Structures are given as C-alpha cells and as structure tokens.
A and B are shown apart, each in its own frame.
Chain A
Amino acid sequence: MMEVSTLTTIAFWAASAMTLGFAAIVVTQRDVFRAAIALAGSFLGVGILYFVLSAEFVGVVQILVYVGAISVLMAFAVMFIQDIASGSRPAQGRLVGVAAALLIFAALAFAVYNTTWTSMDELGTDQVAALTEGFYEVGEGDDIQISLTEPTDDDAVVVENGGVLVDSTGSVGVLLVREYMLAFEIIGLLLVASLIGGLLLMRDRKESEPEKGSASV
C-alpha cells in the first residue's frame, strides 16, 4: 500500500515542480495577465498531482472547475479592469512577505517532520484488500454484509464497489449523498447566494439615479 513505483515518484516530482514553479511566477510576475495564465498552469499542476495521489475524480474536478472556469474568470477580470497591462509593482512590504512565507513554511515543515504519521501498514490485510481491490455489499436494507470475495449465493442483492483508492468516483458520490448530504445542500445554497450577490454587485447604477430624484420631490 505504501510502496510506490519509480514512475510515480518521477511523476510526483515533475507535477510538484510544475505547480511550485508556476506559483512562483504568479507571485512575482509584473504583468497581471501572465500571472493569470501562470495561475492556470499551477492549477493544472495541482490536478496532475491529484492524479498521482490516486485521487482521479478530485483531479478531474480540479481541472474542470479551476482551470476551466476560475482561470477564465481571472483572465476576464484582468481584461476588463486593466485595459493596458500596467503591471503590479510589489508593495513596500516585500521583505515582510518573504519573512512571513519563510516562517509559515518553517513552522509547517517542523510540524510535518515531528509528527508520527499512522501509516497504512497498520491496517489489517482485510482492510487493505477492501481498499485496493474492492468489496461487495451483500444483502439489502439493514442487513448489509461486507464480503471481499464474490458471493456465490444467487439470491443475494450484490453491490460491487471498486477499490476506493483505485476507483474512487462511485464511493465519493455515495459519500456526498449519504454522510455529507447536509454539506452538499448547503454548498448549493452558497453557490446560489454567490450568484445573486455577484449579479447584485454588477448591477448598472445609472437607472437608480432618476428614481432618487423623483422620490425626493
């Protein structure tokens, strides 16, 4: 479970280099549009990183939402607000920024290296098999049993699940609508609120002026 092939390690370091490289371009580039494109590149690197970490569904959602939509939003904003790329000079607090970044990184690195992480090796073989190769849910209603091998009983209602760390899509879907149903619905509400707020903020103000004048009379 914990051992990874050489190819995975190479892919991991390549994806990390891409992510961190583009992120460095975002925070240092003067031309704001180039920073927006570098941000899209960084998001793509993070998506590849998710693929390396066996989280394919999250990786595809990352590319779809971040690169496909949020980066376009940023590029739109840059185009509308800065007609000419006037650039963004770093403010006076550059030294403060570097100090803050280094301190945060040092603190997090210290925390990472001084914690003993429970490893997947501590799991029993049953759990590891369920995680990597899949499990079958036999029976229906309240009487669901887990079986690791294909059940031979013809009458049983069998739901086959792929190994959750290999084929995570179905299991994430089940999680979203069973355990995290409340969060799912609240996020829907949040997106509607953000939609309405955005529309409200972008409303054309010129129409409201004559009304104020007529009301005061």
Chain B
Amino acid sequence: MNQAMLDNSLWRNIYCVLAGDSAQCASRDYSAGLLPGGLEWLAFLLAAAAIIGLVINGILGGVIVLIWGERRLFGRFQSRTGPNRWGPWGTLTSVADAVKTMFKEDLVPADADRILFNLAPILIAAPALLVFSVIPFGVGTYVADLNIGLLFIMAVTSLTTLAVLTAAWSSGNRIAILSALRSVALLISYEIPMALAVVGVIMLAGSMSLGDIIAAQGVPFILVQPLGFFVFFIAAMAEMARAPFDLTEAESELAAGYLNDYASMKFGLFFLAEFMAELSTSAIVTTLFLSGWRGFDPIPSQFWFIAKLIAVLFVIIWFRMTLPRLRVDQVLKFAWKGLFELTMINIIVTAILIAIWPQPTTGQLWMMAAINWPVAIISIWGVSKLLGTPAYDKPQPTAEAPTYPVASESIPAGSVLGAEKGGD
C-alpha cells in the first residue's frame, strides 16, 4: 500500500472500514473489515471510487458556479448586470442552461463517422477531468500525489489535440477540418512553452510532485519565477483556446468551427470541458506559483486554495473581456519567437541560480527573486522589441505635411452669406 494513500485520511477510513487490514490500519481500531479476507484489492478499488466520485462531483459543482460567475463578470465588465433571472442573482442560470442543452435534438450528420463522432466529446472531457486527480485542494485533500505529477499534467493536457482532430474529421465537413487544423496548430505550438516554463519550478522544488512543490514554496514562486509565471499563464490560456487566443471559436466569424455539427449534450460536453480546463488551469497556476493551499493557520487550507483559485479565475476572465482577438499568424509567431525564447532564458538563469544555491532556503529564495525580476523585465522588453510591431499598423506620415485649404477671412463675392451680411 502506498504511504501517500494512507495519508489521505478519507481514503484510509473507507479502506480500513472495508478491509480491516490490521497491518496498515493499526492506528485505527478496526478489528474486522466488512469484506472477507483476500479481497483487499476490492476494498482499494471501492475506496478509490468513492474519493473519485466525490472529487468529480465537486469539480462539476465548481464548474456550474464558474459558468454563472463568468457570465456575471462579463456583464459587469460590459456595464450591465449579467444573468439575474433564474434564482437569486441568477445562480440557477447554469442549471437552466444545462436543461436547455439536454433537451435539444441530438443530430448526427449523415456523412459522419458515428463511433468517432460519439467518442470525440468524451476524449475532450476526459483529460480535463484527469488533471484534477493530482492537484491537492488542501492538506491531505487529493486523489493521488504522483511523484511525476507535473509531467503527468503536461502529458494529459496534450491529449486534447487528438480529440480536436477526431471531432473535426468525424463531422465529415471540410470547414470543420480547416478550423481544427488551425486549432491543433495553436495547441501544439503552445505545449512547448507551457512545459518548459515549469522547468524552473521543478528545479527549485527538486521534484515534480505537486505536494513537494507546495512544500518548497516558502516564498510563492510567482515572486521567484516571474518569467515562468508569465509564460505559463499565457501558454495555458492559449491551450484553453481562450481569448485572446480564441481564433478557433471566434463566434462572430466561424459559426462554431469544428464544433459546428455537434448538438445537444455532445456540445454540452465540449462546453463543459472548456470550463473544466479553465478551472484546472487556475488550480495548476495556484499550486505551482501561488503556493497552493499554504496560508495562515486558523483558517483551513481548503479555504486558502479556493480563495487563490478565485483570484486566478478573475484574472483569466478579465483577460478574456479586455483583450482583442489575435490572428493565427500572430499567435504562432508569438509562441515560437517570443515565449520559447523567454523559457530558454528562464531555464538558463534558474539553472545558474540553483548551481549557486542548491536547495534554497527562504532567504536565498528572496535573493533569487530579486535577481529574477530585473532579468524578467529586461527579457520581456527585449523579446517585444524583437517581435516588433508590423509596419502596416500605423499609417506613416509623408515627408511634407499636406496643405489643406484654410478658410479665409474674406467672404467670396457671390455667396449667400455675403449677400446677407451685405444686406444687414
């Protein structure tokens, strides 16, 4: 039995009640379990299923609150109220949305490949949920603490590209395929900066396990790794295909892109997967850069985690509402020429700092922060100079200023005004 599982008290309680395994459950007073002798594996699976069910339901509840919150915030950013019809302050709007989506007709196009068409929404929603299995929501509140947790998150988020291609191809619709190709180009371009931006965090914490990363944050890593945070935040927003990178679902331009042919609950699953991705990205940013559930003592750690999560979510929604959409070539240029160089600079500088101070204490972390912030500002300025602004953005003034006819003081002879003035 994994020691980490036993640390998870809820899991341990369920497992010990079911199995009554005296070797691992000695601290508790379980003399005999509910299941007969050789079925420890069944107890393991049932305990794991209970925890997973709890976490998934919690996440779906969180997504419902997020959808409502996001629409209210949109309203506030646009000087209007946002949904306020269903329930107090419109809190039941998401429920109404879900009911509406479920009752729509479930169309499958004639040219579609039925198995893949039905499979694609599942393939998109599954990685979005899998990420939550490694994130600690509080002290001892996690599903699993893998010792390669961060790399697992990167690997799982890279599964969405295949799901997008399946969705587009199985619609049997050329426009959908073109839209999906643009979307996949976006997704694979931003996977690399996203994975490389956290290398600095891994070097500082000495481990890829999320629990160890939180334990190593005497100083929150947003202060120690500003470049890493900057690159990761932007790359994660691009991975979610969220504004300003939402060229795939540009609602005013394409109808819905590769999601065109999906109706009813399949579209609902795509929609849900996008919000789960938003929630999971915020959770990852909180864990990696804002020191997760760490906070001051009398208030429970879960509260700190949720408070930081809401702060990150607010920033993401804020970005969506204020920044204009980028074009696809701008997006790709930014990924390959801008973010990639910033991650390389970040890795080199962090590696040098770790070589000087291996296993840094809190004071050394503050010194690293003091070194990293000027480096970050200078490199972001330098890269923005490198990317440059296109020459056609602003109309260039010609060499001499054009002369416009200036109204003269004297009134021309035949004009009405002159006649009137003359008459008066």
B44 — which chain A residues lie within 8 A by C-beta?
A: 7
With both chains docked as a complex, state the minimum distance between the C-beta of B366 and any C-beta of chain A, in angstroms.
25
A56 — which chain B residues lie within 8 A by C-beta?
A: 146-148
Which of B160-168, B292-300, B317-325, B326-334 contacts the other chain?
B160-168
Closest Cβ neighbor of B209 among chain A residues: A167
Closest Cβ neighbor of A8 among chain B residues: B41
Interface flags, A132-159, vs B, CB<8A=1, else 0: 0000000000000000000000000000
Is the CB of A165 closer than 8 A to any CB of chain B? no
Whether B169 and A68, one on each chain, are in contact in the complex, defined by CB atoms closer than 8 angstroms, is: no
Docked complex: A27-52 residues within 8 A CB-CB of B: 31, 33-34, 37, 40
With both chains docked as a complex, state the minimum distance between the C-beta of B216 and any C-beta of chain A, in angstroms.
15
Whether B158 and A69, one on each chain, are in contact in the complex, defined by CB atoms closer than 8 angstroms, is: yes
Is the CB of B261 closer than 8 A to any CB of chain A? no
Is the CB of B116 closer than 8 A to any CB of chain A? yes
Whether A60 and B188, one on each chain, are in contact in the complex, defined by CB atoms closer than 8 angstroms, is: no
Is the CB of A5 closer than 8 A to any CB of chain B? yes
CA distance A27 to B378 in the complex (A): 54
A69 — which chain B residues lie within 8 A by C-beta?
A: 158, 188
Closest Cβ neighbor of B195 among chain A residues: A64
**Binding site secondary structure of chain B:** helix
CA distance A7 to B19 in the complex (A): 14
Closest Cβ neighbor of A44 among chain B residues: B159
B158 — which chain A residues lie within 8 A by C-beta?
A: 63-64, 67-69
Given contact pairs A56-B148, A60-B152, A67 touches B159 in the complex (Cβ within 8 A): yes
Whether B148 and A60, one on each chain, are in contact in the complex, defined by CB atoms closer than 8 angstroms, is: yes
Closest Cβ neighbor of B160 among chain A residues: A68
Given contact pairs A34-B116, A40-B162, A75-B169, A64 touches B154 in the complex (Cβ within 8 A): yes
Whether A169 and B41, one on each chain, are in contact in the complex, defined by CB atoms closer than 8 angstroms, is: no
With both chains docked as a complex, state the minimum distance between the C-beta of B56 and any C-beta of chain A, in angstroms.
20
Whether A33 and B116, one on each chain, are in contact in the complex, defined by CB atoms closer than 8 angstroms, is: yes
B177 — which chain A residues lie within 8 A by C-beta?
A: 79
Whether A60 and B116, one on each chain, are in contact in the complex, defined by CB atoms closer than 8 angstroms, is: no
Closest Cβ neighbor of B165 among chain A residues: A75
Contact among A10, A60, A68, A76 with B159 in the assembled complex (CB-CB below 8 Å): A68
Contact among A34, A60, A61, A64 with B113 in the assembled complex (CB-CB below 8 Å): A34
The bracket for how many chain B residues form the interface is 20 to 34
CA distance A7 to B146 in the complex (A): 18
Contact among B38, B45, B154, B166 with A37 in the assembled complex (CB-CB below 8 Å): B166
Whether B41 and A7, one on each chain, are in contact in the complex, defined by CB atoms closer than 8 angstroms, is: yes
Docked complex: B110-159 residues within 8 A CB-CB of A: 113, 115-116, 119, 146-148, 151-152, 154-156, 158-159
Docked complex: B351-407 residues within 8 A CB-CB of A: none
B45 — which chain A residues lie within 8 A by C-beta?
A: 7
Interface flags, B166-183, vs A, CB<8A=1, else 0: 100100000001000100
Whether B151 and A64, one on each chain, are in contact in the complex, defined by CB atoms closer than 8 angstroms, is: yes
The total of chain A residues at the interface (CB under 8 A) is: 28
Given contact pairs A7-B44, A72-B184, A169-B148, A33 touches B169 in the complex (Cβ within 8 A): yes
Given contact pairs A63-B156, A64-B151, A67-B158, A76 touches B188 in the complex (Cβ within 8 A): no
Most buried by A among B38, B44, B166: B166
Closest Cβ neighbor of B44 among chain A residues: A7
CA distance A85 to B169 in the complex (A): 10
Is the CB of A71 closer than 8 A to any CB of chain B? yes
Interface flags, B225-264, vs A, CB<8A=1, else 0: 0000000000000000000000000000000000000000
A5 — which chain B residues lie within 8 A by C-beta?
A: 40-41
CA distance A49 to B166 in the complex (A): 24
Is the CB of B278 closer than 8 A to any CB of chain A? no
CA distance A69 to B188 in the complex (A): 8
CA distance A10 to B42 in the complex (A): 11
Most buried by A among B44, B146, B162, B181: B162
CA distance A31 to B169 in the complex (A): 12
CA distance A5 to B44 in the complex (A): 12
Is the CB of A57 closer than 8 A to any CB of chain B? yes
With both chains docked as a complex, state the minimum distance between the C-beta of A52 and any C-beta of chain B, in angstroms.
14
Closest Cβ neighbor of B187 among chain A residues: A72
Closest Cβ neighbor of A63 among chain B residues: B155
10 A-B pairs with the lowest CB-CB distances in the bound complex, closest first: A68-B158, A7-B41, A64-B155, A63-B155, A75-B165, A6-B41, A60-B151, A72-B161, A60-B155, A167-B147
Residues of A within 8 A of B (CB): 5-7, 10, 31, 33-34, 37, 40, 56-57, 60-61, 63-64, 67-69, 71-72, 75-76, 78-79, 85, 162, 167, 169
Residues of B within 8 A of A (CB): 38, 40-41, 44-45, 113, 115-116, 119, 146-148, 151-152, 154-156, 158-159, 161-162, 165-166, 169, 177, 181, 184, 188, 191, 208
New A-B contacts (13) at CB < 8 Å, excluding given A69-B188, A75-B169, A79-B169: A5-B41, A6-B41, A7-B44, A33-B113, A37-B116, A40-B162, A57-B151, A60-B148, A60-B151, A64-B154, A64-B158, A85-B113, A167-B147
